[in-house]
Structure 1
Amino acid sequence: MKIKHYLLWNRHSKLQLPLLLFIYIKILAHPTITHSASTSSAAKSNTNNNIKTKYPHAATYEAHAKQYLDKASERMQHIWTRSRNSFFSLTTKGRGYNAVNQAPIKQEIENDYRHLVYALAMNLSTIPVMQLNDPILRRRVKRLAKLQLYGLADDDYEEAKNLIHTMQTFITTRMVCSLSDCQTTVAMVPTILNHAGRSKNLADLEYFWRQWRTVLADRDRAKSAFISYVRLLRLAASYNGHITPSRTWYLYYDTDNFQRELEDVVWEIMPLYKELHAYLLKCVRNTYGDKLNADEDAIPAHVLEQIVRQAWSPRTVFRTPYPKNQLPTVQQRLEEILVTPLKIIKKAAEFFESIGLNQMSDSFYEKFSRRIGDEDIGSDCRAEVFYFPPDAALRYCPKLDYKKLMQMHGNMAELQYNLYRGRLPFGVDSEPCPGFASGIGEAAVIASGTPRHLNRLHILFNNSLNEEQSMNRLFRMGIHTILAIPQYFINDKFLVDVMDGHIGAQELNCAYWGLQNKYAGVVPPMRRNEKTFDPDFKFYRGLNPEKPNTVKLLSEILGFQFYRAFCLASEQYRPGDPEYPLHNCDFYGSKKAGTLMKEIMEAGATKHWRDLLEIATGDRKLSGKGVMEYFAPLYTWLKEQNKQNDVEPGWETGTRCSKDYYSPT
């Protein structure tokens, strides 16, 4: 008797049962499956039989799985067709593709996709994966049988979406009184952050830091939304049969205690982080004097954010290694050479074509490349890549600058990945784990910003900087990268520890500051208690499972890990050779590097991410080796400077947070 397909094709199914109970009921209801259970002990007793005898119903399971997936693939093709049509209709000349007119269509497509994978997961969850002979089919079933928030019932899913939206508005809503009066209100992004990048007034920084959190503390606005959201994440985990909720958060990494592996990498780069932290702390002490609470070993959170915002600014609260030998200005030369944003896209495409990846045809530039409309540009417009196989499309930012040049290399890496994965069956036509594809893109971004590559583009006249300029560049990159990695980890660990019950609802705020103290040497600007909820704006941005802090952290780590591997393959990085350091490697034109990149892109999710990581890098685990080797000259310089300045790296300080401490916010 064939298992009915009523679940897969009932798009409005509202099953409320946890997944384990559902599976139990399905097993009892279907003679084919019950018969399998009743005869399995007899089959297993015959050790001389092959796998088909050991699992007598394996062929039946495979047939059912293929039927489900074939039907789902047909529906997925319709969804992709709608995505393609909406891209064309909304990007036609004279019709701007903006948040207002795209929202209803995107919502419809997202709802259709969600109902499809929800019903498909309910069907595939009854299939015993290990009894499937076909390894690709096994991967498809395993990846599609469990879901994150999509696995929630309709009402719970809508609540989760609303909570995510609410917490995202904390970042962009104007809700803090300006410095002059409350007639004008400002938002964290972009106004408050931009002010932090420009100002050297410590009182202003403290005001905005405190006031934003005061607004969020009103009626437990932020804390209650977060706790409600965690409840739904736990519910989604229960549908997957996960006793430990974080197993669902880390679902696609298929790794026991994945957070421990992330933590190991943080500790691997910690010696470099501590040296940079110590140097910067001395700098801001010199800038702010006693106002900074100079007796502390930690950097106040609002000052750390200011440092990060000023990473590439000409006016900073820190001292670059060689202030009299700053980096050359490239903007004017870039405008002269590249002329238009479209030329940036073509140069980024040329990078991947040079290493043997897909050629971008004239048809791509005519049909699948669209300019972002003026109404959507904003302060920092970002390109967007679309996936509707067999094609991929791009909406690009019309700005012409160095930052967009590097970002476009990451966008083009994603587009190349989409073209390769689009050739794979539905279910494995994705990256093997979240952050894997963006890690490849990050490797291309790093290469595109090197003096060697800028010289190839005729934007710089030399293929390397002098020693002092090179150190300044590494220093600013270190602020941008090294300071970010522990913060991504802290935000991720805090969420996961709350989900798993390691942090209780009555200790949220001080637990957060405990993590900031342990992994980053950061404290709040003033004493805090449990009446507030202090995570920064990046924490809220990373609560969406589609763009979590885990992915940001992994893309940074894998970016340098892949970059090192591609550079070794191209022989543009030769360890010990000062003429070919890692920080100036450009693997443009290397077919060997391209072969590695192409192989891991073409595989999609057909293999475990560790298998693909090993193909590219020779390692099966995440590693900070790429980061440490890239910044090795900076690490040496920082150690020498801190020693000369009699500065001891590290921190021994309190968290400035106590449950019973009273503070009039």
Structure 2
Amino acid sequence: MIDRHLTLYWQAWLPNVTITRFALLPSLFFLLCLSNAALAAAPPTPVVASPNAAPTNTTKYPHAAVYEAHANQYLDWASTSMHAIWARRRSSFLNLTTKGRGYNSINQAPIKQEIENDYRHLVYALAMNLSTIPVMQLRDPVLRRRVRRLAKLQLYGLPDKDYAEAKDLLHTMQTFITSRMVCPPGDCQQMIAMVPGVVNQAMRTKSLNDLEHYWRTWRSVLAARNRGKSAFISYVRMLRLAASYNGHITPSRTWYLYYDTDNFQRELENVVWEIMPLYQELHAYLLKCIRHFYGEKLKTDEGAIPSHVMEQIVLQAWSPRPIFRTPFPTHQLPTVKQRLEEILVTPVKIIKKSAEFFESIGLNHMSDSFYERFSRRIGDEEIGSDCRAEVFYFPPEAALRYCPKLDYKKLMQMHGNMAELQYNLYRGRLPFGVDSEPCPGFASAIGETAVIASGTPRHLNRLHLLFNHSLSEEQSMNRLFRMGIHTILAIPQYFINDKFLVDVMDGHIGAQELNCAYWKLQNKYAGVVPPMRRNENTFDPDFKFYRGLNPEKPNTEKLLSEILGYQFYRAFCLASEQYRPGDPEYPMHNCDFHGSTKAGDLMRQMMEAGATKHWRDLMEITTGERKLSGKGVMEYFAPLYTWLKEQNKKNDVETGWESDTRCNKDYYLPSYN
């Protein structure tokens, strides 16, 4: 009977799908790769079509019932196994406490790794089974979404040996960021890491020589024995291998797998060009500032900003003593530190105020049980220079580990964390496979809207941290300027890092031209050049590039969350009527949609849907648009854009750049091999 079914199954399937590595073997054997710990029940046997079964939609899909029954059996089995994994995640979280047994994330790492391995083996086996199903013959749209999303994988789709190599390479490249590899100028007794050591030094130093030393030395260490370039090339090989297992001739299709969009990079590029007029005005203004600050020591040409100085500018976005000039230096932004300590007192009160924001727009109420059982303080031994809260997902609950620091930055970040918690509670009600965001960055974009709203004077006044619900015109411009440095300068960098990786993956950039190709992108999209001549003996991408190589947290996700976040924010502000175009009393940059159930309804609809619908369908619900757009960014920063244009015109400053990339493969530099 099984043989009869398999013959029927393969005859029906072969004309309808592209054969991938996951679809080369009968599905009975695929489950053998699962570890015993991941199995919550015996794997199901294939569904056999009854010859007497009533036909359903026989004209177009003669075997639809067989395919749907087969998919549902394996999904039911996987869901049972997944609930066992979630239960172990819940148990692991509940042990994360600074009291009692003294567990923390460090000594819980082996348990987390074991759970992670079992999860990978589960989705790997499930993908092998589901990839044999012709998706378009499934009549149930939610089932179709589940199968489509679970049938193909990124790095998780690699066999054990290759997956282990890919993870080792990722770990190696992360050590470039966290290992002590750089000597401070004139002192090599205490080496420092890129993060936080070099970053902190670059943020504070006023010496151009020191800044150049850190920039050059870190890259020199990575150039020794081709360390950085070799690891990157090997990792790209793993990404290409994962793409081949999905049947993707173009590797970037696997990198952009969950965006389910042709030419997605082109759409991202269009957004970058859409905000480019604002970027160029800000770039030109900052170039004049740094020329004034560093004087003749700074070598600039044809309108470009040297990379090491641009990095410093971004790091100093909110610094009290930056190298750039704020629009109105005598009108400093009010400090809320003292008021925050007086009003909110403890980090738990920050969490509760963040929760109240979402409750006010009609989302889930966070009960006392949540604070007692599923809210944990990060231990003192884990608090670094920038401890960040962590959100956990094990449906039906969501949980939080929070940073005990009490400051304005944590207040805003916690609003983003609470958005993720809310999202987890809603998606946890959906079937396994669609209980996720519809594309990477979608959930972060929703969180970004809460972060932006929580930092407005109107919201800070609501929290009694500011006495007025708006700033003076001069202070407001200073705030927009600082936010512009933080946001506008970052967007092209996310795109450049993403495009560089994808172009290498797809073979548009060869191994013999990596470094100069990178600087061509920096020059074209950001007006940035290296501080000195470079060639192909080095590999110069910054530390944020290495961070974004992980498919679970790629630069693509960060870029999308920024752009889509401002699109969502604009929509929520219009729905709440806290943004009224043309009304100076209700500008977009001071919109706080706290208390707006209309905005909450839009947010809840997107959260409740999880991945049951395409991200563009959900985006359309809120914004009325189906494409990414820079409109939200441009409207938010419209007053800054106007001010920058006036200032640059007044000071006879030209925008744009036509500079040399300062990179040539034939240019002589010392070899580090």
Pick the TM interval, shorter chain. over 0.9
Q: Counterpart in 2 of 1:191?
A: 197
Q: Which residue of 2 aligns with 1:44?
A: none
2:555 counterpart residue number: 549
Verify: 1:583 aligned to 2:589, yes or no.
Answer: yes
Matched, 1:161 2:167: yes
Alignment of 1:415-454 (within 5 A): 415-454=421-460
Kept after mapping to 2: 8 A contact 1:174/1:185: yes
1:203-244 deviations in Å (ceiling 9; x for gaps): 000000000000000000010000000000000000000000
Residue 362 and residue 27 in structure 1: after superposition, are their counterparts in 2 closer, same or farther (change >3 A)?
closer
Instruction: Determine if contact 1:436/1:555 at 8 Å carries over to the other structure.
Output: yes
Aligned in 2, Cα 1:82/1:125: closer, same or farther, shift over 3 Å? Answer: same
CA distance in 1, matches of 2:195, 2:28: 54
2:91 aligned with 1:85: yes
Q: Decide whether the 8 Å contact of 2:307 with 2:529 is kept in 1.
A: yes
User: In the alignment, is the contact (CA less than 8 A) between 1:573 and 1:580 conserved in 2?
Assistant: yes
The answer to whether the Cα contact below 8 Å between 2:602 and 2:621 also exists between their aligned partners in 1 is: yes
Q: Following TM superposition, by how much is the alpha carbon of 1:295 offset from its aligned partner in structure 2, in angstroms? A: 3.6
Distance 2:336 2:71 in 1: 56
User: Does the 8 Å contact 2:360/2:595 carry over to 1?
Assistant: yes
Deviation at 1:181, TM superposition (A): 2.0
* 1:271–1:120 Cα change, 3 Å: same
How far apart, CA to CA, are the structure 1 residues paired with 2:560 and 2:89? 28
Distance 2:591 2:549 in 1: 35
The answer to whether the Cα contact below 8 Å between 1:409 and 1:444 also exists between their aligned partners in 2 is: yes
Amino acid at match of 1:377: I
Amino acid paired to 1:77:
H
C-alpha distance in structure 1 between counterparts of 2:600 and 2:59, whole Å = 44
| Shift in Å, 1:91 | 2.3
Return closer, same or farther for 1:664/1:583 CA change in 2, 3 Å cut-off: same
Aligned to 1:620, the other structure's residue is in SS state coil
> 1:454 is paired with a residue of what secondary structure?
helix
Question: Partner letter of residue 126 of structure 2?
Answer: L
Q: Deviations over 1:438-473 (max 9, x none)?
A: 000000000000000000000000000000000000
Task: Give per-residue Cα distances to partners, 1:135-168, cap 9 Å, x unaligned.
Answer: 1100000000000000000000000000000000
**Deviation of residue 597 (structure 1)?**
0.1
Higher alpha-carbon deviation: 460-469 or 81-90: 81-90
Asked whether the 8 Å contact 1:3–1:64 carries over to 2, the reply is: no
1:305 and 2:311 matched: yes
Return closer, same or farther for 1:4/1:213 CA change in 2, 3 Å cut-off: farther
State the partner residue of 2:580. Answer: 574
Alpha-carbon spacing, 1:326–1:517, altered in 2? closer, same or farther (3 Å):
same
Query: TM-score w.r.t. structure 2 length?
Result: 0.93
> For 1:448 and 1:183, how far apart are their aligned partners in 2?
44
From 248, 253, 256, the equivalent of 1:250 is: 256
* Percent identical residues: 82
TM normalised by structure 1 equals 0.94
* 1:191 counterpart letter in structure 2: G
Equivalent of residue 506 in structure 2, options 500, 504, 519? 500
* SS of equivalent to 2:493: helix
| Pair 1:520 & 2:526 matched | yes
Map of 1:48-67 to 2, 5 A cutoff? 51-67=57-73
Superposed, 1:58-137 pairs within 5 Å as: 58-91=64-97, 93-137=99-143
1:482 aligned partner: 488
Which secondary structure does the structure 1 equivalent of 2:235 belong to?
A: helix
| 1:371-417 CA distance string (max 9 Å, x none) | 00001111110000000000000000000000000000000000000
Summarize deviations over 1:334-377 as a string: whole Å, max 9, x none. Answer: 11110000000000000000000000000000000000000111
Report the alpha carbon displacement of residue 289 of structure 1 after superposing the two structures with TM: 1.1
Distance 1:245 1:168 in 2: 23
| Aligned counterpart, 1:532 | 538
* 1:352 aligned residue (331, 341, 358): 358
SS in 1 for 2:69: helix
Q: Name the residue aligned to 1:608.
A: 614
Query: Which residue, 401, 406, 411 being the options, matches 2:412?
Result: 406
The yes-or-no answer on 1:235 pairing with 2:246 is: no
Query: Contact 2:56–2:62 at 8 Å: present in 1 too?
Result: no
Contact in 2 for aligned 1:311/1:477 (Cα 8 Å): yes
Q: State how far apart, in whole Å, the 1-side matches of 2:196 and 2:121 are.
A: 36
Which residue is equivalent to 1:629?
Answer: 635
Cα pair distance change 1:60/1:651, threshold 3 Å: same
CA shift in 2, pair 1:273/1:22, >3 Å: closer
CA distance in 2 between counterparts of 1:2 and 1:96 reads 54
- Is residue 318 of structure 1 aligned with residue 358 of structure 2? no
- CA shift for structure 1 position 292: 1.1
Q: Do the aligned partners of residues 385 and 29 (structure 1) sit closer, same or farther apart at CA in structure 2, a change above 3 Å counting?
A: closer
Q: Check 1:92–1:69 CA distance in 2 against 1; reply closer, same or farther (3 A cut).
A: farther
Provide the C-alpha distance between the structure 2 equivalents of 1:536 and 1:222, rounded to a whole number of angstroms: 11
Cα offset, 1:22, TM superposition: 5.3
- Amino acid of the residue matched to residue 110 of structure 2? P
Q: Is 1:595 aligned to 2:591, yes or no?
A: no
How many Å apart are 1:27 and its aligned residue? 9.6
- Find the residue that maps to 1:386 and give its secondary structure: strand
Q: Which moved more, 1:91-100 or 1:459-468?
A: 91-100
Structure 1 residue 90: deviation in Å?
A: 2.7
Q: Which runs of 5+ in 1 are unaligned?
A: 7-17, 37-48
Q: Alpha carbons of 1:467 and 1:506: their partners in 2 closer, same or farther (altered >3 Å)?
A: same
How far residue 606 of structure 1 moved from its aligned partner, in angstroms, is 0.2
Task: Name the residue aligned to 2:291.
Answer: 285
For residue 28 of structure 1, report the CA deviation from its aligned partner. Answer: 13
Q: In structure 2, how many angstroms separate the alpha carbons of the residues matched to 1:321 and 1:198? A: 21
Give the number of aligned pairs: 640
Provide closer, same or farther for how the CA distance between residues 96 and 646 of structure 1 changes in structure 2, counting only shifts above 3 A: farther
Preserved CA contact (<8 Å) 1:510 1:530: yes
Q: CA deviation at 1:294?
A: 3.8
Cα deviation for residue 93 of structure 1 reads 1.6
Q: Distance in 2 between matches of 1:4 and 1:337?
A: 72
- Mark the CA change 1:29 to 1:85 in structure 2 (over 3 Å): closer, same or farther: closer
One-letter code aligned to 1:571: E
TM-superposed deviation, 1:626:
0.4
> Which amino acid in structure 1 is aligned with residue 462 of structure 2?
R
Q: Is the 8 A contact 1:97 1:373 kept in 2?
A: no
SS in 2 for 1:243: coil
Residue 23 (structure 2) aligns with: 23
**In structure 2, do the counterparts of structure 1 residues 315 and 5 end up closer, same or farther at CA, with 3 Å as the change threshold?**
farther
State the superposition RMSD in angstroms.
2.0
* Counterpart amino acid of residue 369 in structure 1: S
Task: Find the aligned partners of 2:3 and 2:151 in 1 and give their Cα distance.
Answer: 16
Q: Assess if the C-alpha contact under 8 Å between 2:620 and 2:626 holds in 1.
A: yes
Q: Is the Cα contact below 8 Å between 1:325 and 1:469 reproduced in 2?
A: yes
